[in-house]
C-alpha cells in the first residue's frame, strides 16, 4: 500500500538516503532500525513530504504521491521531536487540530488520550509539560484521525514504562485492524512483541528488510535483538 522507489536524498555533500526501495503492506508493523544518523528520520520525512527527495518516487495505494499533500490524511505521524506553540493548552491543541481537519476525516479515535489520562491535563500549557507528556500528546495526535498508516519516529523515547506499554498495546490494536505501522527505534528490545518486519538502515543504505519469522529462522535466534545482531554480522557495512 505504501512504497518508496529508489528514493535518494543528499544534504550538501552528505548522501543521507541511497536508492531506498521498499514495499509496505497493510497489517505490517515494521521496525526501521539503524544507528543514529543512518537516515531513518529523513526516510520517514520523505514519505510524509516533509523532506523532498532528490530522486525516486513514493506510491500510496498505487498512486504516485510525491509532491502532493492530500495523501497525508491517510497517515498519522508522531515526530521524533514534537514542536508546539508554548502557550497553547493541551485541550486547545486538540480542539484546534480537529477544527483544521474537520470534513477530511471519518472519525476520531481518542482511546489513547483516555489511556494516557490526558483529558485531566487539558488545561496545562505545552510549555510546562515534561518531555514524556509532550511525547504522549504527539502520540495521541498521530492516532487521532484513525489513519490507515501510522508513522512513529522513536515513539517510546522519553516515555515511562507504563506509557510505553500503553502505546505498544495501541499499536497492536491498530495492527489487528489491518493498519500499517512504520516505527523507528534504536532500542531493539522495546519492539520485540510488536514487530512483524525489520528494516535495517546504515549510512542511508538499506541493509536488509525481512520478516521477523525469516530473521529468526535464518539466525536460529528467538530474541529479536540477537537475530538482528547476527544478521548485521553477515551484512557488514560497506
Near Mg ion in 86-115, by CB under 5 A = none
Which of these segments, 5-13, 38-46, 66-74, 102-110, binds Mg ion (CB under 5 A)? 38-46
CA–CA distance, 35 with 58 (Å, rounded to integer): 24
Which does residue 37 bind out of Mg ion, ligand ADP, none, counting CB within 5 to 8 angstroms by kind?
A: ligand ADP
CA angle 77, 26, 37 (to 5 degrees): 45
Q: Tally the residues of the chain.
A: 238
Minimum Å distance from CB 153 to Mg ion? Answer: 6
Nearest CA-CA partner of 30 in 56, 62, 2, 72: 2
Minimum Å distance from CB 9 to ligand ADP? Answer: 8
C-alpha cell at 145: 484521525
Inter-CA distances, 70 with 22, 63, 180, 236, Å: 22, 12, 18, 40
Cα-flanking dihedrals φ and ψ of residue 77, to 5°? Answer: -125, 130
Which of these segments, 73-81, 112-120, 123-131, 142-150, binds Mg ion (CB under 5 A)? 73-81
Which does residue 61 bind out of ligand ADP, Mg ion, none, counting CB within 5 to 8 angstroms by kind?
A: none
**Residue 42 binding Mg ion, by CB under 5 A:** no
CA–CA distance, 14 with 204 (Å, rounded to integer): 10
**Residue 185 binding Mg ion, by CB under 5 A:** no
Which does residue 151 bind out of ligand ADP, Mg ion, none, counting CB within 5 to 8 angstroms by kind?
A: none
CA–CA distance, 106 with 123 (Å, rounded to integer): 27
Minimum Å distance from CB 40 to Mg ion? Answer: 5
**Residue 133 binding Mg ion, by CB under 5 A:** no
Which of 4, 31, 41, 207 binds Mg ion (CB under 5 A)? It is 41
Contact residues for ligand ADP (CB under 6 A)?
11, 14, 16, 34, 36-42
Minimum Å distance from CB 158 to ligand ADP? Answer: 15
Terminal C-alpha separation, the chain? 31
Which does residue 36 bind out of ligand ADP, Mg ion, none, counting CB within 5 to 8 angstroms by kind?
A: ligand ADP
Burial class (CB in 10 A: 0-12, 13-18, 19+), 77: buried
Amino acid at each position: 500500500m505504501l512504497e518508496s522507489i529508489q528514493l535518494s536524498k543528499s544534504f550538501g555533500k552528505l548522501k543521507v538516503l541511497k536508492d531506498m526501495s521498499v514495499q509496505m503492506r497493510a497489517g505490517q508493523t515494521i521496525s526501521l532500525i539503524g544507528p543514529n544518523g543512518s537516515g531513518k528520520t529523513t526516510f520517514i520525512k520523505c514519505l510524509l513530504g516533509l523532506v523532498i527527495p532528490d530522486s525516486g518516487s513514493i506510491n500510496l495505494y498505487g498512486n504516485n504521491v510525491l509532491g502532493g499533500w492530500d495523501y497525508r490524511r491517510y497517515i498519522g505521524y508522531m515526530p521524533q521531536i514534537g514542536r508546539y506553540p508554548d502557550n497553547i493548552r493541551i485541550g486547545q491543541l486538540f480542539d484546534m487540530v480537529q477544527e483544521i481537519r474537520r470534513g477530511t476525516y471519518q472519525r476520531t479515535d481518542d482511546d489513547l488520550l483516555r489511556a494516557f489520562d490526558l483529558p485531566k491535563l487539558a488545561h496545562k500549557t505545552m510549555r510546562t509539560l515534561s518531555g514524556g507528556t509532550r511525547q504522549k500528546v504527539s502520540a495521541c495526535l498521530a492516532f487521532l484521525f484513525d489513519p490507515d498508516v501510522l508513522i512513529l519516529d522513536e515513539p517510546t523515547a522519553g516515555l515511562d514504562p507504563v506509557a510505553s506499554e500503553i502505546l505498544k498495546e495501541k499499536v497492536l490494536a491498530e495492527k489487528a485492524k489491518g493498519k500499517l505501522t512504520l516505527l523507528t527505534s534504536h532500542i531493539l528490545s522495546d519492539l520485540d512483541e510488536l514487530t512483524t518486519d525489520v528494516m535495517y538502515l546504515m549510512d542511508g543504505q538499506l541493509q536488509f528488510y525481512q520478516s521477523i519469522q525469516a530473521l529468526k529462522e535464518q539466525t536460529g535466534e528467538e530474541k529479536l535483538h540477537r537475530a538482528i545482531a547476527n544478521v548485521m554480522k553477515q551484512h557488514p557495512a560497506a
